[in-house]
């Protein structure tokens, strides 16, 4: 049995039908929803992370085949594994993993896959490089590529670099997808944790246009009076 088949068989053996049904609802896999048609095994994230430790040496070819899987958790396993490989990789291998990741972005196709990997790989790679690719991704017709763009800035925020988060949030203000509003609000909240004056400036500048969901996420850590103030505007 090859590596891909062995990994899939091992993970499927840990699945639970009730968890699979719950996940299918939670990740909106019904007709017309953002995860339409996705399929679930019902295996938990801790089990996936444990399995990653057993397969750290998997090749990119193996990971590509896992990303091609119809099963949501198999693809999630693949991006978590890729993120762990990136963290331990040398400079050349990090570049290879980064380009591999973006070339397979069409298979990184739900918010948990993006959120488990984009800041590690895309943000990690671009931390000391030109970041214009993020603005190209933010213009993508793919919801997931737009989320990758914003999620990547989580790494920059941790480095106290806020310009790209602010610029991308401005660029995505009129995005139609709630999942984009949520990730923008989340990143703005984290900017505010480090520079609350910058968050206030962003909110005051864009209060007429900011989507309600983005605003609610962004102001979560402000005191109750200030939250009420921004919600009333």
**If you average pLDDT over every residue of the chain, what do you get?**
97
Expressed as residue numbers, the domain containing 3 is 1-107
Residues 64 and 25: their CA atoms lie apart, in Å, by 26
Q: 140 and 193, same structural domain?
A: yes
User: Which pLDDT score is estimated for 40?
Assistant: 98
Whose structure tokens read 């057993």?
Answer: 54
Residues 160 and 146: their CA atoms lie apart, in Å, by 22
pLDDT tens readout for residues 141-151: 999 999 999 99
Q: 128 and 67, same structural domain?
A: no
User: pLDDT confidence of 50, banded at 50, 70, 90?
Assistant: very high
The answer as to whether 103 is a domain residue is yes
Torsion of CA 163, 179, 190, 218, to 10 degrees: 100
Q: 123 and 94, same structural domain?
A: no
Q: What is the mean pLDDT of residues 72-82?
A: 98
Structure tokens at 162: 């806020």
Q: 146 and 198, same structural domain?
A: yes
The answer as to whether 55 is a domain residue is yes
Structure tokens at 113: 């896959």
* CATH classification of the domain holding 194: 1.25.40
pLDDT for residue 1 is more than 60:
no
The answer as to whether 112 is a domain residue is no
User: pLDDT confidence of 109, banded at 50, 70, 90?
Assistant: very high
pLDDT tens readout for residues 110-134: 999 999 999 999 999 999 999 999 9
Q: 134 and 52, same structural domain?
A: no
User: Which pLDDT score is estimated for 31?
Assistant: 96
Q: What is the mean pLDDT of residues 164-168?
A: 98
Q: 197 and 89, same structural domain?
A: no
Query: Of 64, 86, 107, at which residue does a domain stop?
Result: 107
User: Which pLDDT score is estimated for 34?
Assistant: 96
pLDDT tens readout for residues 203-218: 999 999 999 999 999 9
* Range list of β-strands (E), 87-145: none
Helix%, strand%, coil% for the chain, nearest 5? 70, 0, 30
């Amino acid at each position: 049995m090859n590596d891909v088949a062995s990994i899939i068989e091992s993970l499927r053996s840990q699945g639970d039908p009730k968890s699979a049904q719950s996940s299918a609802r939670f990740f909106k896999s019904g007709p017309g929803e953002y995860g339409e048609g996705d399929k679930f095994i019902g295996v938990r994230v801790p089990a996936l992370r444990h399995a990653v430790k057993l397969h750290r040496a998997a090749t990119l070819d193996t990971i590509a085949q896992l990303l091609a899987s119809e099963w949501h958790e198999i693809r999630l396993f693949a991006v978590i594994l890729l993120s762990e490989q990136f963290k331990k990789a040398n400079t050349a291998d990090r570049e290879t993993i980064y380009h591999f990741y973006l070339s397979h972005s069409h298979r990184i196709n739900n918010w948990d896959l993006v959120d488990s990997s984009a800041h590690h790989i895309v943000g990690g790679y671009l931390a000391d490089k030109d970041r214009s690719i993020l603005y190209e991704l933010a213009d993508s017709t793919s919801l997931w590529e737009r989320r990758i763009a914003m999620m990547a800035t989580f790494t920059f925020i941790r480095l106290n670099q806020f310009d790209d988060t602010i610029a991308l949030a401005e660029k995505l203000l009129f995005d139609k997808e709630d999942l984009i509003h949520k990730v923008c609000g989340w990143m703005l909240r984290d900017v505010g944790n480090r520079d609350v004056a910058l968050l206030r400036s962003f909110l005051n500048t864009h209060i007429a246009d900011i989507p309600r969901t983005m605003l609610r996420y962004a102001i979560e850590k402000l005191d109750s009076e200030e939250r009420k103030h921004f919600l009333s505007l």
